[in-house]
């Protein structure tokens, strides 16, 4: 279907281009007309497809539409969770366009919070696989009963002779389990109903069914419903591993998805030696024919496939036997990001869905304001510049279509910062068009003809447009390089918008003007003029204006420094990305009216909570237990004090955290008297994104265990967590993140 649509788009674009160039004798404009028409059709097709599937292809960020929150435990205590979070970002959202938020949690920073915007259950499951993969890749030769007869004899006599060594490096061979779903790649069939393993090979390698816990030195009976099949791989001195990969990418072989990879120089040398020593040899049991060795491809200690080695392999290779494109994309992302520095819990310790971080009224107003502003700009351009204004409207429409198509095609999330970048590019398109049209006006008033005025106007405005776009693009590149995920989203939209605006203004717009002139549609360029001709000596005021500008710049810098260093309220300037903060989960005794209502009540109770973020969160069991609209996550930045100020006030990090928690409890009590469930106020420390700031730890004396059942409402005067002497165990379905 996709190929048919692309062919139709190419045919329409080519036909239109041929018709226009022949009709008006413009052969040099063929590709200009072709790409202009193709870009327009591409945007329209993506827009129509999204509308036909109820806009499900349009992905919104966590701030606009909510998403899924996953909490994982860092199982490697000696590895900093901040380093682990950065590695996960490279694996999950390396480009920043998916708007995935990853940050550390907990007093000891031993948890990772991953917030994924606007995803369905299947996408979340695939993301869990991507997260849980360690990312270790190995290439090992599968043992066979001719080259490795000693290993086979040792296995048959007793497994201890093969496995019980001081380290794996000292073993001659070891077992590796076949990845679930890959058994067919080894001629092995597992009946899912009976657990019977059949077709286990005939001597070219050793296989067996063992316990599900992968205990390779055990003779326990395996679970017949969950059989595990292992193969024996040989230790070699080359140790070809994933750290030698230079690149990994998705591809196709015989219309089936595969993973293609290439090695760096060291990896290519190791693979070349490994495969050259294991080329096909004459089979001693047969008069004719050759016997091939198999190269096992092992990902996270599970063998995926084992192709026959037919020739020497050096720089490139591929992994086959993968069922779906999603699985291929997952493996590619894992290999490209490399091995994680630490091990995460196999499953998330907490999983919940959350509503939009921004209130519904805020989102609606922002969308309305953006739509009205675009329409007003278009109307103003048409009114003031007439035909030229119509061309600018076409440029704007093309910008909107192509930007939308880019976001949908790359599954990027629309966020509020991204929409801000999009609005900025609209302003840049209008500004560039005005530069061109005013140049054309000057040429027309100088007595030049329409064709000369158009050509000269575009030529003279070209350098100014390119210079302004290059400087803005440099800012975008810097923001993308050093910024957080949210800033990267803004930078990507900005850079994409700049590229599309240059295409729509200079390439498409110039083609429309030249076609209108050649066809006789544009015989006279008419534009409105609000102000008469002016002659203002701007440079004569240069010294005064520069002095005023310098004073304003210095004043603004001083104000920013003052507010970020506590002279004024820092929380009103810096958000949680820089400060860290408190994340409070509250379960109310009755349903609330929504995020806006909860936020307004908190702000009414304490005016310091001006930057509080309230979202409606839902566990999988909430609908069944009738807890919808009763569980909310409340995030507030934590203003930081420098060491001198804290020492002068006699406060340390623990006391400051206790004070902040006490203030929050008081605000909750005042805003929601008698409406908060006992032991359902859970405090967490959120680590800030700025490396210079350290989050204040929460004292151990303030635990907040989650109950197994719904307890009675707490008295209005005591919304605090339950005493440590009477903890209620947390249910398996509602694992709470590490409390403060």
Bigger pLDDT: 79 vs 393: 393
What phi, psi does 263 have (nearest 5°)? -100, 160
Query: Could you check whether 60-133+343-354 and 134-282+290-339 share the same CATH topology?
Result: no
pLDDT digits (tens, 9 = 90+) for 407-430: 888 878 888 888 888 888 999 999
Residues 514 and 452 sit within 8 Å (Cβ to Cβ): no
> Which CATH topology does 60-133+343-354 take?
Alpha-Beta Plaits (3.30.70)
At residue 624, the pLDDT reads 67
Query: In terms of Cα–Cα distance, which of 218, 207, 212 is closest to 183?
Result: 207
Its pTM stands at 0.68
pLDDT digits (tens, 9 = 90+) for 508-523: 999 999 999 999 999 9
Q: Which two tokens stand for residue 539?
A: 């440079």
pLDDT category at 105 given cuts 50, 70, 90 is confident
pLDDT digits (tens, 9 = 90+) for 111-150: 888 888 877 788 888 888 888 777 788 899 888 777 877 7
| Cα of 711 vs its chain's centroid, Å | 38
**pLDDT tops 50 at residue 210:** no
Q: Which two tokens stand for residue 364?
A: 């609606």
Q: What is the mean pLDDT of the chain?
A: 76
Domain boundaries along the sequence of the chain? 1-57, 60-133+343-354, 134-282+290-339, 359-519, 539-563, 569-740
pLDDT digits (tens, 9 = 90+) for 563-573: 766 554 444 56
At residue 220, the pLDDT reads 31
In sequence order, the 6+-apart residues with CB closer than 8 A to the CB of 261 are 245, 247, 248, 249, 316, 317, 318, 319, 335
> Which CATH topology does 134-282+290-339 take?
Gyrase A; domain 2 (3.30.1360)
**pLDDT tops 70 at residue 254:** yes
Query: In terms of Cα–Cα distance, which of 458, 468, 462 is closest to 498?
Result: 468
Q: Measured between alpha carbons, how far is 3 from 614 in angstroms, rounded to an integer?
A: 45
Element (H or E) spanning 173, and its range?
A: strand 173-177
At residue 345, the pLDDT reads 84
pLDDT digits (tens, 9 = 90+) for 439-456: 999 999 999 999 999 999
What phi, psi does 47 have (nearest 5°)? -65, -45
Residues 296 and 142 sit within 8 Å (Cβ to Cβ): yes
Look at strands 290-291 and 295-299 and give their pairing: unpaired
Lowest-confidence segment of 158-162, 369-373, 435-439, 659-663 by average pLDDT: 158-162
At residue 88, the pLDDT reads 86
Average pLDDT over residues 687-707: 38
- The 10 Å CB-count burial string (b at 16+, else e) for 672-699 is beebbbbbbbbbbbbbbbeeeeebbbbe
The percentage of the chain sitting over the pLDDT mark of 90, rounded to a whole number, equals: 25
Q: Which two tokens stand for residue 325?
A: 């494109």
Q: Measured between alpha carbons, how far is 597 from 590 in angstroms, rounded to an integer?
A: 13
Average pLDDT over residues 493-509: 93
Lowest-confidence segment of 262-276, 324-338, 368-382 by average pLDDT: 324-338
Task: Return the CATH superfamily for domain 359-519.
Answer: Multidrug efflux transporter AcrB transmembrane domain (1.20.1640.10)
**pLDDT tops 50 at residue 19:** yes
Dihedral sign for Cα atoms in the order 531, 536, 541, 547: positive
- The 10 Å CB-count burial string (b at 16+, else e) for 330-348 is bbbbbbbbbbbebebeeeb
DSSP annotation of 566: T
Residues 119 and 130 sit within 8 Å (Cβ to Cβ): no
Q: What is the DSSP string of 594-622?
A: -HHHHHHHHHHH-TT-TT-EEEEEE-TTT
Distances 31 to 18, 486, 565, 592 between C-alpha atoms, Å: 10, 37, 57, 59
Residues 19 and 33 sit within 8 Å (Cβ to Cβ): no
Bigger pLDDT: 32 vs 574: 32
Query: In terms of Cα–Cα distance, which of 344, 301, 410 is closest to 129?
Result: 344
In sequence order, the 6+-apart residues with CB closer than 8 A to the CB of 140 are 176, 233, 234, 235, 236, 295, 296, 298
Bigger pLDDT: 310 vs 35: 35
At residue 337, the pLDDT reads 79
At residue 26, the pLDDT reads 94
């Amino acid at each position: 279907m996709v190929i048919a649509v692309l062919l139709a788009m190419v045919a329409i674009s080519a036909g239109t281009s041929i018709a226009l160039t022949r009709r008006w004798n413009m052969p040099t404009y063929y590709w200009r007309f072709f790409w202009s028409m193709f870009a327009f059709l591409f945007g329209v097709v993506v827009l129509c497809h999204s509308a036909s599937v109820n806009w499900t292809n349009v992905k919104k960020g966590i701030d606009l539409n909510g998403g899924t929150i996953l909490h994982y435990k860092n199982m490697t205590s000696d590895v900093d969770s901040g380093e682990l979070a950065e590695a996960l970002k490279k694996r999950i959202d390396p480009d920043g366009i998916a708007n995935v938020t990853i940050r550390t949690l907990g007093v000891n920073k031993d948890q990772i919070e991953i917030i994924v915007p606007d995803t369905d259950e299947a996408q979340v499951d695939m993301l869990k696989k991507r997260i849980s993969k360690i990312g270790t890749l190995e290439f090992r030769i599968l043992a066979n009963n001719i080259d490795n007869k000693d290993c086979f004899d040792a296995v048959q006599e007793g497994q201890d002779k093969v496995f019980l060594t001081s380290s794996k490096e000292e073993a001659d061979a070891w077992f590796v389990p076949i990845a679930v779903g890959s058994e067919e790649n080894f001629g092995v069939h597992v009946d899912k109903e009976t657990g019977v393993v059949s077709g286990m090979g005939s001597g070219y390698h050793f296989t067996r069914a063992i316990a599900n816990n992968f205990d390779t030195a055990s003779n326990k009976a395996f679970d017949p419903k969950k059989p595990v099949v292992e193969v024996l791989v040989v230790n070699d001195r080359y140790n070809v591993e994933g750290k030698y990969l230079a690149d990994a990418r998705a591809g196709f072989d015989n219309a089936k998805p595969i993973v293609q990879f290439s090695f760096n120089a060291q990896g290519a040398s190791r693979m070349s030696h490994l495969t050259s020593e294991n080329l096909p040899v004459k089979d001693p049991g047969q008069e004719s024919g050759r016997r091939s060795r198999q190269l096992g491809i092992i990902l996270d200690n599970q063998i995926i496939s084992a192709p026959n080695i037919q020739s020497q392999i050096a720089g490139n290779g591929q992994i086959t036997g993968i069922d779906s494109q999603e699985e291929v994309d997952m493996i590619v992302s894992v290999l490209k990001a490399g091995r994680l520095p630490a091990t995460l819990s196999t499953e998330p310790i907490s999983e919940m869905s959350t509503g939009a971080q921004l209130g519904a009224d805020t989102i609606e107003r922002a969308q309305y304001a953006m739509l009205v502003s675009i329409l007003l700009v278009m109307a103003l351009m048409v009114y003031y510049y007439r035909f030229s204004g119509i061309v600018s409207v076409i440029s704007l429409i093309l910008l909107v279509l192509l930007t939308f198509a880019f976001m949908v095609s790359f599954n990027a999330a629309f966020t509020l910062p991204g929409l801000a970048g999009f609005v900025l590019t609209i302003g840049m398109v209008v500004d560039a068009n005005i530069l061109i049209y005013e140049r054309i006006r000057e040429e027309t008033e100088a007595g030049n003809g329409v064709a000369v005025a158009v050509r000269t106007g575009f030529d003279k405005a070209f350098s100014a447009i390119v210079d302004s776009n290059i400087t803005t693009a440099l800012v975008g590149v810097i923001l993308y390089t050093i910024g957080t995920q949210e800033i990267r989203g803004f930078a990507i939209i900005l850079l994409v918008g700049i590229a599309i605006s240059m295409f729509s203004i200079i390439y498409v717009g110039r083609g429309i003007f030249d076609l209108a002139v050649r066809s006789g549609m544009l015989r006279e360029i008419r534009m409105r003029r609000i102000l008469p001709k002016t002659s203002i000596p701007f440079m004569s005021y240069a010294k005064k204006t520069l002095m005023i500008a310098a004073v304003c710049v210095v004043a603004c810098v001083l104000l920013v420094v003052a507010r970020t260093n506590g002279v004024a309220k820092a929380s009103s300037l810096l958000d949680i990305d820089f400060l860290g903060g408190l994340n409070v989960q509250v379960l109310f005794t009755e349903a609330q009216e929504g995020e806006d209502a909860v936020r307004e009540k908190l702000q009414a109770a304490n005016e310091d909570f001006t930057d509080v973020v309230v979202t409606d969160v839902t566990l999988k069991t909430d609908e069944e237990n009738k807890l919808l609209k009763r569980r909310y996550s409340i995030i507030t930045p934590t203003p930081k004090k420098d060491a001198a100020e804290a020492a002068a006030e006699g406060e340390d990090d623990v006391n400051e955290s206790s004070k902040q928690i006490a203030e929050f409890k008081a605000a909750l009590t005042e805003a929601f008297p008698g409406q908060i469930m006992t032991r359902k106020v859970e405090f967490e420390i959120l680590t800030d994104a700025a490396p210079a700031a350290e989050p204040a730890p929460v004292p151990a004396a303030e635990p907040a265990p989650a109950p197994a059942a719904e307890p009675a409402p707490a008295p209005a005067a005591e919304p605090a967590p339950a005493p440590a002497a009477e903890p209620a165990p947390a249910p398996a379905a509602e694992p709470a993140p590490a409390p403060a």
